[in-house]
């Protein structure tokens, strides 16, 4: 028997949108005590489907045009507002991607949980408080009494998501809708939250509708999977079946794009050291203004005694969670930040103490690819100029630089006509290609890529990784690749440096680090990778 049954759901977009329906003829059903994962890339309509169930579509432009959401014999798509309010929070509840913004910043956690009881159940204050404390304890938050009176900003990301889960489960709802609840979290925290959701689901016999873009998460948590593409459910079935033998070509391509956790075969290591980083130190200081009256001074040791070396033609991965200092190291190497101590030796010269002018000739030898394809290109500059700028600054003639830019556009897989367009006319993946072309324009020896694919959908990610690999091969580039994603690291990097709290805790050949990690933290990281027990069936990327 189905607990929730979505039939022929159409969600209409406002007039003038790219397509008339965000969700078209979607059919889904959820049984009690089951986790259904809805997987899809951005724009697939998975989130809107979830919101339609809750009656929380962005008013008044987006609405259910056709179809029914049947919940225990009642059509929620046609239910009046008052009835929906009764259901929300008590029988169906929801958790969100960003627990920081999803909680009211000026209200204590206790009060926000208390509201659920106050609006749905006749309970005395004392009883409500006891229930809330018990909930916080159930989701394994330390010191529930203190959490009750804490404000959201006083908790960590993981704690906030736990508090959200406690709030959602306050009244034992029959259905829990989780909209990418772990996407904003670090991998180890994500693993804990996934475990918690599973535990809670078991304990309360809840039906969970879990929205995600990550097949690893699916492998870890789902009982059944539905794959969405362009607003349609293209395939649906038990997890084991979908993961081992997907039928729909889209599902197949999606899963093929997921990088395998089995590291690619190592390549012979060159003797030639291109870049050496020795004992790099960087401390961020904040606060402590005039007369010491400002905020108390804070020191964050973002990089501490970091030593790395990069050989010709090799890709060195720096992996770690947020705040580990991996980006800081990258930025110190390309001299966007000034390190406090240490050496950055490129071509026999130490870059660290060089001033702007002295640094300029070295700039062309080391280039960077950035994370955010939207923020990394000047929205007011034409693509051709963005690429040609570097060579022009380094003294190339205008004409030559423009010819070069056109050539590069083709190399990175874009039409040369892109030259006269503005960045906003391109998709995220295309912009990332432009960013790569800009970095290549100076013919660098070293390319530093700071999370170059983490903002992209998995199929685009696959394409960009392939592009980087081809270019590295063709131009004999050496690469420093910053990532938080161990799957990506396994497929891209020859060697790995694992960072935590500003220190490199482990370094070695990728295969070795994966097979026999020595540091506890590396083990924990590897352990937390979602879907680690699952290997994507056909791995086109590893075949490279």
Partner 1 sequence: MVGFWTRFRRNRSAVLGLLILAFVILIAATAQIIFPEDPFRLAGQAMAPPGESGFLLGSDSLGRDVAAGMAHGAKTSLLIGLLATIVAVTVGVLMGALAGYYGGWIDDLLMRTTEMFQTIPSFIFAILLVAIMKPSIESIVIAIAVVSWPAVARLVRGEFLSLKNREFVQACHTLGMSDIRIMLGEILPNCLSPIIVIGSLMVATAILIESGLAFLGLGDPNIMSWGFQIGAGRTLLRSAWWVCTFPGIAILITVLAINLVGEGLNDALNPRLRERT
Partner 2 sequence: MGHFAKRARYVIKRLLQAVPIVFAIIVVNFFLLQLAEGDAVDVLAGEAGSATPEYMAELREKFGLDKPLIVQLGLYLKNVAMFDLGYSFRHEMPVLELVLDRFFATMLLMVSTILLAVGFGVLLGLLAATGLNTWRDTAISIFALITYATPLFWVGLMLIVVFSLNLGWFPTSGMENIAMFYEGWDRVFDIARHLVLPTITLSLFYLALYTRLMRASMLEQAGQDYVTTARAKGLTERRIMFVHVLRNALLPVVTMAGVQVGALIGGSVIVESVFAWPGLGMLAFEALFSRDLNLLLGIFLLSALLVVAVNLIVDIIYSVLDPRIEVA
Q: Which residues bind partner 1 (CB under 8 A)?
A: 290, 331, 334-336, 356, 359-360, 363-364, 366-368, 370-372, 374-381, 389-390, 393-394, 424, 435, 438-439, 442
When asked if residue 119 is in the footprint of partner 2 (CB under 8 A), the reply is yes
Give the separation between CA 485 and CA 186, rounded to whole angstroms: 10
Q: Which of partner 1, partner 2, none sits in contact with 145, Cβ below 5 to 8 A by type? A: none
The site partner of 94 among partner 2, partner 1, none (C-beta below 5 to 8 Å per kind) is partner 2
CB of 277 to partner 1, least distance (A): 17
- As a whole number of angstroms, the distance between CA 238 and CA 452 comes to 33
Quickly count: other Cβ atoms within 10 Å of residue 61's Cβ. Answer: 11
**Contact with partner 2 (CB under 8 A) among 1, 18, 106, 533:** 106
What is d(CA 51, CA 94) in angstroms, rounded to the nearest whole number?
Answer: 9
- From partner 1, partner 2, none, which one binds at residue 203 (CB under 5 to 8 Å depending on kind)? none
Contact pattern for partner 2 over residues 188 through 227, marking x by CB under 8 A? ----------------------------------------
DSSP string, 299-355: EEEEEEEEEEEEETT-EEEEE--TTSSHHHHHHHHTTSS--SEEEEEETTEE-TT--
| Cα(258)–Cα(103) distance, integer angstroms | 32
CB of 102 to partner 2, least distance (A): 5
Binding marks (x or -) toward partner 2, 260..279, rule CB under 8 A?
--------------------
**Residues of span 339-358 touching partner 2 by CB under 8 A:** none
> Which lies closer to partner 1 via its Cβ, residue 370 or residue 481?
370
In terms of CB distance, is 20 or 395 closer to partner 1?
Answer: 395
Binding piece for partner 2, criterion CB under 8 A, among 289-297, 453-461, 499-507, 509-517: 289-297
> What residues numbered 145-174 form the site for partner 2, per CB under 8 A?
151, 153, 164, 167-168
- Specify the DSSP class assigned to residue 291: G
* Token pair in block for residue 517: 């990690």
393 binds, among partner 2, partner 1, none (CB under 5 to 8 A by kind): partner 1
| Joined tokens for residue 480 | 């420093």
Angle at 456 between CA 240 and CA 543, to 5 degrees: 60
Q: Does 285 bind partner 2 (CB under 8 A)?
A: no
Helix axes 157-168, 109-120, angle to 10 degrees: 10
Q: In what order do the strands lie in the sheet with 74-75?
A: 21-30, 4-12, 63-71, 74-75
CA distances for 26 relative to 60, 143, 223, 396, 413, angstroms: 21, 44, 19, 56, 35
Q: What letter would DSSP give residue 88?
A: B
Q: Which is nearer to partner 2, 116 or 377 (CB)?
A: 116
Q: What is the DSSP string of 157-213?
A: HHHHHHHHHHHHTTT--SEEEEESTTTTS-HHHHHHHHHHHHHHHHHHT-EEEEEES
Burial class (CB in 10 A: 0-12, 13-18, 19+), 88: buried
DSSP state of 293: -
CB under 5 to 8 A by kind: which of partner 1, partner 2, none does 474 bind? Answer: none
In the complex, least distance from residue 103 CB atom to partner 2, rounded to whole angstroms: 6
532 touches, from partner 2, partner 1, none (C-beta below 5 to 8 Å by class)? none
Question: SS in 3 state form for 395-425?
Answer: CCCHHHHHHHHHHHHHHCCCCHHHHHCCHHH
**Residue number, 244 or 286, with CB nearest to partner 1:** 286
Q: Classify 269 as helix, strand or coil.
A: coil
* 104 near partner 2 (CB under 8 A): yes
d(CA 482, CA 276): 16
290-329 residues in contact with partner 2 (CB under 8 A) are 290-291, 293, 295
Q: Decide whether 178 or 329 has the Cβ nearer to partner 2.
A: 178
Does residue 102 belong to the site contacting partner 2 (CB under 8 A)? yes
Told to check if 250 binds partner 2 by CB under 8 A, we report no
107 binds, among partner 2, partner 1, none (CB under 5 to 8 A by kind): partner 2
Number of residues engaging partner 2 in binding (CB under 8 A): 33
φ/ψ of residue 387, rounded to 5: -75, -40
Give me the sheet containing 341-346, strands edge to edge: 298-311, 273-286, 341-346, 349-350
Query: Binder to partner 2 among 42, 101, 322, 516 (CB under 8 A)?
Result: 101
Q: How far is the CB of 500 from partner 1 (least distance, A)?
A: 24
Choose the stretch contacting partner 2; rule: CB under 8 A; options: 113-121, 346-354, 432-440, 527-535.
Answer: 113-121
Residues 33-72 that bind partner 2 (CB under 8 A): 54, 56
Q: Which residues bind partner 2 (CB under 8 A)?
A: 54, 56, 84-90, 93-94, 96, 98, 101-107, 115-116, 119-120, 151, 153, 164, 167-168, 290-291, 293, 295
């Amino acid at each position: 028997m189905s607990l929730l049954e979505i039939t022929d759901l159409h969600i209409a977009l406002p007039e003038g949108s790219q397509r008339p329906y965000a969700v078209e003829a979607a059919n889904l059903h959820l049984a009690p005590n089951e986790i259904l994962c809805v997987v899809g890339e951005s724009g697939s309509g998975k989130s809107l489907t979830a919101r339609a169930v809750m009656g929380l579509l962005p008013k008044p432009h987006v609405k259910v045009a056709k179809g029914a959401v049947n919940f225990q014999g009642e059509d929620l798509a046609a239910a009046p507002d008052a009835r929906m309010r009764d259901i929300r929070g008590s029988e169906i509840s929801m958790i969100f991607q960003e627990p920081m913004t999803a909680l009211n910043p000026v209200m204590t956690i206790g009060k926000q949980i208390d509201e659920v009881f106050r609006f749905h159940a006749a309970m005395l204050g004392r009883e409500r408080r006891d229930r809330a404390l018990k909930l916080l304890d159930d989701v394994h938050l330390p010191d529930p009494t203190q959490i009750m009176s804490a404000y959201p900003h006083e908790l960590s990301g993981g704690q906030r998501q736990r508090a959200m889960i406690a709030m959602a489960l306050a009244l034992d709802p029959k259905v829990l809708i989780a909209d990418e609840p772990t996407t904003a979290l670090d991998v180890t925290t994500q693993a804990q939250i996934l475990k918690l959701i599973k535990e809670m689901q078991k304990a309360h016999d809840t039906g969970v509708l879990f929205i995600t873009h990550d097949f690893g998460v699916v492998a870890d948590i789902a009982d059944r999977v539905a794959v969405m593409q362009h607003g349609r459910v293209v395939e649906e079935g038990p997890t084991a079946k979908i993961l081992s033998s997907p039928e729909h070509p889209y599902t197949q391509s999606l899963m093929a794009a997921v990088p395998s956790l089995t590291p690619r075969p190592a390549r012979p290591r060159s003797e030639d050291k291109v870049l050496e980083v020795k004992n790099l130190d960087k401390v961020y200081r904040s606060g402590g203004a005039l007369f010491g009256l400002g905020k108390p001074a804070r020191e964050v040791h973002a990089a501490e005694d970091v030593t790395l070396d990069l050989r010709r033609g090799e890709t060195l991965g720096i992996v770690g969670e947020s705040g580990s200092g991996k980006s800081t190291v990258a930025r110190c190497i390309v001299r966007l930040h000034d390190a406090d101590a240490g050496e950055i030796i490129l071509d026999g010269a130490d870059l660290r103490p060089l001033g702007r002018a002295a640094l300029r000739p070295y700039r062309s030898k080391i280039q960077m690819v950035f994370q955010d394809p939207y923020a990394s290109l000047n929205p007011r500059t034409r693509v051709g100029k963005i690429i040609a700028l570097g060579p022009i600054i380094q003294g190339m003639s205008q004409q030559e630089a423009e010819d070069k830019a056109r050539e590069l556009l083709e190399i990175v897989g874009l039409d040369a006509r892109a030259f006269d367009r503005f960045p906003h006319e391109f998709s995220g993946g295309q912009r990332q290609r432009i960013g790569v072309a800009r970095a290549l324009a100076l013919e660098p020896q070293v390319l530093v890529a700071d999370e170059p694919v983490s903002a992209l959908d998995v199929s685009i990610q696959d394409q960009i990784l392939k592009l980087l690999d081809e270019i590295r091969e063709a131009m004999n580039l050496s690469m420093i690749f910053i990532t938080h994603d161990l799957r990506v690291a396994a497929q891209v990097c020859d060697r790995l440096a694992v960072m935590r709290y500003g220190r490199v805790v482990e370094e070695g050949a990728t295969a070795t680090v994966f097979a026999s990690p020595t540091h506890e933290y590396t083990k924990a990281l590897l352990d937390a990778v979602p879907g680690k027990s699952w290997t994507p069936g056909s791995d086109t990327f590893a075949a490279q």
